[in-house]
Amino acid sequence: MSTACEPLVGSTMPLSTAKRHKSVRKNSRRIYSAYQDRQQGSSDDNDKEDEHVDSNDPEEMFQNIQYQKEIIANIRTRPWPMRRKLKVLKQAREIVLRYEGRLTRTRGYQTAGADLLKKVSRLLYNTLVLFIPWEVRIKKIESHFGSGVASYFIFLRWLFGINIVLTVMTGAFIVLPELLAGAPFGTTRSKTIPNEHLASAQDLDTIWSLGGYLQYSVLFYGYYGRVRKIGSAGYRLPLAYFLVGMAVFAYSFIILLRKMAKNSRLSLASASDENFTFCWRIFCAWDYLIGNPEAAESKGAAIVNNIREAIVEEQEKKKDTSLAVLISLRILANILVLLSLAGSIYIIYFVVDRSQKLEQEKPELTLWEKNEVSVVVSLITMIAPSAFELVAQLEMYHPRTSLRFQLARVLVLYLGNLYSLIIALLDKVNSMSSAVPTNSGNRSGSSSFLATISQPLEGSISTRISEYGNSTTATITAVLDIASTGKSTSKINETSLFERNTRSQQDQCWETYVGQEMLKLSIIDMIFTVGSILLIDFIRGLVVRYLSDCCCWDLESKFPEYGEFKIAENVLHLIYNQGMIWMGAFFSPCLPAFNVLKLIGLMYLRSWAVLTCNVPHQQVFRASRSNNFYLAMLLFMLFLCMLPTIFAIVRYKPSQHCGPFSGQEKIYDIVSETVASDFPLWFSQVMGYITSPIVVLPALLLLFMLIYYLQAIARSLKFTNNQLRMQLQTERTEDKKKVFQMAAVRLQAPEEAVDRQSDLLESDMESQEAAAHTPSPQWNGNVRNFQSPLRHGNSIHTVTQSAAGLDLDRGCVAGSVASPMVTNLPKQIRGHVPNRTTPFLGGPRGTCRSKSYHHMAYNPQAVYSGHIQCEPVCRKPMCSFHPVEPARGVSAQSCGGCRGHTTRYLIVNEHVPREKLVRSATRIPRHYLMEEPAEILELYPRTFQHYTRRTTRHPSQPPPPHSSQQQLSEEEGGGEEQGEEGSRRLSLEKAPRPSSLSNLLQPAHFFIGDCVERHRSMAKDSNTSRGRYEAQEDDEDDNDDDDDDGELKWQGLESYSGFQANEKGAEPLVVRTRRRIPTSGKHYPSLGRVRPMETYTKPKMKQKRENPVTESDSSSEQQNSSADQRMQASRNKEHESNRRRGKLAKKSLKQDLI
Amino acid sequence: MGTTASHLGKDLLSEYQELTFLTKQEILLAHKRFAELLTKEEKELPNIRISMERFLDLPELKSNPFRQRICHVFSTSESKDGSLTFEDFLDLLSAFSDSATLEIKSHYAFRIFDFDEDGTLNCGDLEKLVNCLTGETDDTRLTTEEMRQLISNILEESDIDKDGTVNLSEFQHVISRSPDFISSFKIVL
């Protein structure tokens, strides 16, 4: 902007101004280069930070070492290239090594130990990885088909792990003890195959249906002995059996819940209200694991579909379609699904029923008849999902929703199957355990009745009699049941049936039966799975691949295609499978072991099938999103599968002649029995208390309260979470809005500025007058104006960084905007100083600036623009600190010019650490720097002039010109900061002289003002130099000025003393001032003088002086008046900031002075 | 440094473990795979660079639409040709490994998507990104209208400060909410 401004200014100004501009530009360039250096420096900061560790303070050393260790520990999480990481790591290690020795020896040992530990743990980890089963296989699949398919296998592996644990539990605590210490096969009735079955015990179909030897083996509940203690160690098998049975569920629950909790912690962020559909579809679309070109192709296609879908969806969101047809279709589809669900349930029930009938009617069953139930169930589980899929096409849902529907339906189907099966089985159990036909009549009606009747009457009478007592109890319970269910039929029959039933009971062990059925189901399911993989996937793949050439259509892409790997359904199948295991585990302790084998087989078969003949499902079912989904379903399944088992345990009487609990009324009696008989008396008493309602009820209440409390906490946390998020969002958006407003205002600023110039002029005048008479009121007014910017300040600085680019651009614009005002300058100047003979260079500019300045202040709308401007300004000063002497002029200008702005800025940045400031400052692009100074210049003079001139003027003591010159020369001599400082010191030494004094004061003031910015030394230097310059300038400019200088100095002295006296007064706001360019030094408004006066210490004095000055000295140049205004404005602004920073400022001031 | 391509120093190996998210086996495997890409005489040279073209032949990268970007991002080559040293390769694998943090993954993802490397994802970047995903053929490519809408939707969702671009923190914000980014931003040798 300086270039844009120059012509305008130049036309109205003497040559010297042009010179000055040149120097300004030069300076700005310097600033820029300095900034560049700075930037480089800052980029190296990180490296340097690691290095400086030179202190002998052990505490510090220790901290440093800790810091270095942190670096070492976290280095891998930094996105640096390896080379750099290596370097940093080496450095950090070196430091740790070098300094750690200096600390205690034990610490050295500790670290050595820690190192060793780390190495060992790493080694362990490395070897552990080797033992994760199928890791390589899964990785391979993952790299071919992506994470979705892999998630299935990972889930399978996880289930495998669970089943291993379950197997170990049952194996170690039930099966092995029974095998080792239990009564051997054939010794007791329950372990002997009945004679009539012995012949067929080894037939294949008997084995196949898990009869014969298998039935009387550890596979099933019935085999386990009822002896309370077995072996020499007295192992309590029945108790163990019961506890392990419960532990299976407990363990599954715990592990599931833990996994889910972990998962949900991982995906804590997936808050439902945050929706990034599109972003996710783009940013997270690609699965980087895919390495197989075919998979990549289909993935690519899926992504395209996905994106298109999203777009279409978005478009259709806007238009809502009336979909009567669709809705009716969906209703129809749902009806169909419900019908098929009901149908499948009915079929299962029917089959179980029929099998019971058959069993009772026919002594010999065919293979089909024996396996009917399992086969039908498996068939249904295989076919129904496909049927659902067809139906789902009717509905025309979005694929994602339809997938969800599909999953839900399949899950319901599986559950329905399992439940109808188990209910049917329990029905049978009912009839078996209670031996009362009417009971089973509940569901299967007369069939079971017939069944019981048709039971063959066998066995010895003696056994019958021995069991008489037991069976009576059974009948009694049965009677009770009948009464409770309101079925009071055939009580009469009871007794007649009774004897026969007792016999059947002996051989019929309902627990074994249930176990058999579950195992059978599991086996059949496995066979069907294998079959479907081979047939549907493999054969189909073969056909498609090799027959596609000799077929009239493209088999690969049209009809048969390759089998898809349907992740969701496969996972559901796994869940279903696991559900069967849980359901049957209690009755068949070896079921988990079988499941382990099954899962291993499935793993290999599936992975082989996937790699050879499957293509990934078109519908991508995402891995992690589904993770908890799978688990949730699994948990649901677990719960529902546990119910029947628990129900059976609680509800039914255990079989009389088989199993560990035979002879007990209820299975769980084993626990109370053990407690009563095998524990000391006190224990059972304690147990009695604990289980009494007195304890249980309060405990329950407590639990409920706890749950409620935790839930309340969770709710409140959620609430605060939401609020915080909202707050964040609004803050962000508001900040952004502000930035935009500011930018907009900035753009408008030029026009507005021109429009309002007249207004401004007036207001300026008024304010000036006001200032002259009563400075304080005006201040207030000004302060008010500035308040808004201040307020926004805090928030804005956060924004600025990101918006820096924008701001800068606009800043330039605004900067350039300021120049137009120059045209109006003359008027204003006149207004201010009618008597002025020669318009000062500073003067015109000053007015310009003041205008813009006032403009900001007066324009509510423009507030933002003002703010923006001040930001850049602030940055500038910082940059300018470093430059060498020549740059001083500029820096001084900027500082002074910014004053008003700077103060605001300071406030804004109160909370910002110094570093940030520096960096932000350094970041400013060059054009900014260049232009800003000009702007600042404009602002400057006006305010300053008023002040200084008036005050200074009347004393009229001609200062010794040489002194100021001396200073000048000194300063010039010292090309660098240090040089400056030296000169400053010199001047300080000269303190007795008025001029030097003023200089001294100035720095102090400056400090006060700028200490906030923390660049004291630089600032001081520039200030001091300015001060001197000003003095010089004044001398050169006019005699009057010289006089003023003298006065200034005097005042400076006064103010100085006053200053010291009232340190609070640190408000000497105005320090800012004039920047002096050594070469063009002449035209400088003596800001230096102004400052001292402004110094708070003597506000009154100043005021007094001012008044006389202004009135009497109206002839004094614009400079004065402008300076005054300037001062005022700055004061106002600084007022607040100073107050806040009073202390800081004081301190710094003192330092400086000293 | 002991990194001739045929031999991996023990110290270095442990340092690499320290500096990456990889296990020893993975580093060794990476080294093996890296060495496979080299010719015999190259194997004796320390710090050899593998050109991007040769590198892209790795099946793990072959079908990745962002393969070139990945190479460029992880390359420390002065000439910006996307060539990778073994260390660069390890960096790559580390960032794409199982145990890498979300932060580092999203950081690199951002850089991969930042086609013009200007520090933000602007419309141009997004367009290229979408084109990479959809492929360049006519039937898969989005029309300009679709593209416009898509990009505006993306910006609407993610561009919190409404400056027309997605910057790193915005990107990470979006990514961190994504349930499956972590599991899919992986490359396994």
Q: What's the gap in Å between the CA of B38 and the closest CA on chain A?
A: 20
Chain B 101-120, CB below 8 Å of chain A: which residues? 101, 103-104, 107-109, 113
Structure token pair of residue A338: 């419900």
**CB nearest A86 (choices: B19, B61, B64):** B19
Residues in chain B within 8 Å Cβ distance of A280: 174, 178, 181
Q: Give the Cα separation of A526 and A382 in Å (integer).
A: 12
Q: How far is CA A933 from CA A2, A926, B20, in A?
A: 8, 12, 49
Residues in chain B within 8 Å Cβ distance of A308: 142, 146
Among A1133, A1119, A1085, which residue's Cα sits nearest to residue A854?
A1133
Vertex A545 angle, CA A543 and A550, to 5°: 75
Q: Which residue has the tokens 């962000």?
A: A732
Three-class DSSP labels, A445-486: CHHHHHHHHHCCCCCCHHHHHHCHHHHHHHHHHHHHHHHHHC
pLDDT in tens, A731-762: 777 776 777 777 777 666 655 554 555 444 44
**CB nearest A89 (choices: B19, B167, B181):** B19
- Is the minimum CB–CB distance between B188 and chain A shorter than 8 Å? yes
Note whether B15 contacts A125, CB cutoff 8 Å: no
Among A306, A305, A316, which residue's Cα sits nearest to residue A280?
A306
Structure token pair of residue B20: 């990456």
Q: Are A922 and A39 in contact (CB under 8 A)?
A: yes
Say if strands A563-565 and A614-616 run parallel, antiparallel, or are unpaired. parallel
- Is the minimum CB–CB distance between B72 and chain A shorter than 8 Å? no
Residues in chain A within 8 Å Cβ distance of B133: 282, 285-286, 300, 303-304, 307
Contacts within 8 Å (CB) and 24+ apart, A269-277: A269/B176, A269/B177, A270/A625, A270/B177, A270/B179, A271/A725, A271/B177, A273/A722, A274/B177, A275/B157, A276/B157, A276/B158, A276/B174, A276/B177, A276/B178, A277/A310, A277/B157
Note whether B177 contacts A276, CB cutoff 8 Å: yes
**Cβ of A196: how many Cβ atoms within 10 Å?**
11
Search chain A and give the residue with CA nearest B172.
Answer: A283
Residues in chain A within 8 Å Cβ distance of B65: 286, 300
Say what angle helices A1016-1037 and A885-909 make with each other, to 10 degrees: 120
Search chain A and give the residue with CA nearest B18.
Answer: A76
- Is the minimum CB–CB distance between B99 and chain A shorter than 8 Å? no
CA dihedral angle for residue A901, residue A906, residue A912, residue A916, rounded to 10 degrees: 50
- Is the minimum CB–CB distance between B90 and chain A shorter than 8 Å? yes
Q: Are B130 and B147 in contact (CB under 8 A)?
A: yes
Q: Give the Cα separation of A40 and A1015 in Å (integer).
A: 19
- Is the minimum CB–CB distance between B130 and chain A shorter than 8 Å? yes
Beta-carbon contacts of A414 under 8 Å, excluding residues fewer than 6 positions away, are A381, A572, A575, A576, A579
Q: What's the gap in Å between the CA of A622 and the closest CA on chain B?
A: 7
What letter represents residue B19's amino acid? L
Return the higher-pLDDT residue of B64 and A958.
B64
Positions of chain A with pLDDT lower than 70, given as ranges? 1-58, 100-108, 146, 190, 201, 265-275, 313, 316-323, 362-367, 398-400, 432-508, 548-561, 616-627, 736, 746-1154
pLDDT for the residue numbered A711: 94
Q: Give the Cα separation of A867 and A978 in Å (integer).
A: 34
Q: Which residues pair with A616 in a beta bridge?
A: A565
Note whether B133 contacts A125, CB cutoff 8 Å: no
Q: Are A861 and A786 in contact (CB under 8 A)?
A: no
- Is the minimum CB–CB distance between B29 and chain A shorter than 8 Å? no
Beta-carbon contacts of A42 under 8 Å, excluding residues fewer than 6 positions away, are A918, A919, A922
Structure token pair of residue A1049: 């100095």
- Is the minimum CB–CB distance between B140 and chain A shorter than 8 Å? yes
pLDDT for the residue numbered A1043: 45
**CB nearest B129 (choices: A282, A296, A624):** A282
Search chain B and give the residue with CA nearest A275.
Answer: B157
pLDDT for the residue numbered A253: 92
Note whether B149 contacts A806, CB cutoff 8 Å: no
Note whether B188 contacts A295, CB cutoff 8 Å: no
Burial of A510 (0-12, 13-18, 19+ CB in 10 A): buried
What letter represents residue B136's amino acid? E
Note whether B15 contacts A89, CB cutoff 8 Å: yes
Note whether A82 contacts B95, CB cutoff 8 Å: no
Note whether B154 contacts A77, CB cutoff 8 Å: no
pLDDT in tens, A1088-1126: 344 444 334 344 444 444 444 434 444 444 444 444 444
Q: Which residues of B87-104 are buried (b: 16+ CB within 10 A; e: fewer)?
A: bbbbbbbbbbbeebebeb
- Is the minimum CB–CB distance between B91 and chain A shorter than 8 Å? yes
What letter represents residue A231's amino acid? G
Among A644, A649, A653, A587, which residue's Cα sits nearest to residue A435?
A653
Note whether B184 contacts A293, CB cutoff 8 Å: no
- Is the minimum CB–CB distance between B154 and chain A shorter than 8 Å? yes
Q: Which residues of A938-968 are buried (b: 16+ CB within 10 A; e: fewer)?
A: bbbbbbbbbbbbbbbbbbebebbbebbbbbb
Say if strands B120-121 and B166-167 run parallel, antiparallel, or are unpaired. antiparallel
**Cβ of A132: how many Cβ atoms within 10 Å?**
11
Residues in chain B within 8 Å Cβ distance of A89: 15, 18-19
Note whether B24 contacts A122, CB cutoff 8 Å: yes
Q: Which residue has the tokens 């032949």?
A: B57
- Residue B63: φ, ψ to 5°: -95, 10
DSSP code for A104: -
Note whether B160 contacts A151, CB cutoff 8 Å: no
Q: Are A583 and A640 in contact (CB under 8 A)?
A: no
Search chain B and give the residue with CA nearest A297.
Answer: B63
Among A214, A251, A205, A177, which residue's Cα sits nearest to residue A581?
A251
DSSP code for A175: I
pLDDT for the residue numbered A553: 63
Residues in chain B within 8 Å Cβ distance of A293: 62-63
Burial of A560 (0-12, 13-18, 19+ CB in 10 A): middle
Residues in chain A within 8 Å Cβ distance of B157: 275-279
Three-state SS at B4: strand
Q: What's the gap in Å between the CA of B63 and the closest CA on chain A?
A: 6
Note whether B63 contacts A81, CB cutoff 8 Å: no
Q: Are A505 and A432 in contact (CB under 8 A)?
A: yes
**CB nearest A289 (choices: B88, B167, B187):** B187
Residues in chain A within 8 Å Cβ distance of B158: 276, 279
Note whether A300 contacts B140, CB cutoff 8 Å: yes
Vertex A446 angle, CA A445 and A450, to 5°: 140
**CB nearest B177 (choices: A86, A274, A311):** A274
DSSP assignment of A672-705 = HHHHHHHS-HHHHHHHHHHHSHHHHHHHHHHHHH
**CB nearest B161 (choices: A151, A307, A802):** A802
**CB nearest B184 (choices: A86, A147, A310):** A147
Region B112-122: mean pLDDT is 85
Note whether B133 contacts A269, CB cutoff 8 Å: no
**CB nearest A85 (choices: B19, B181, B186):** B19
Note whether B133 contacts A732, CB cutoff 8 Å: no
- Within chain B, what is the greatest distance between any pair of CA atoms? 56
**CB nearest B162 (choices: A77, A129, A736):** A736
Q: Give the Cα separation of A405 and A398 in Å (integer).
A: 10
- Count CA atoms within 13 Å of residue A221 on its CB side: 32
Note whether B133 contacts A286, CB cutoff 8 Å: yes
Say what angle helices B24-36 and B86-95 make with each other, to 10 degrees: 130
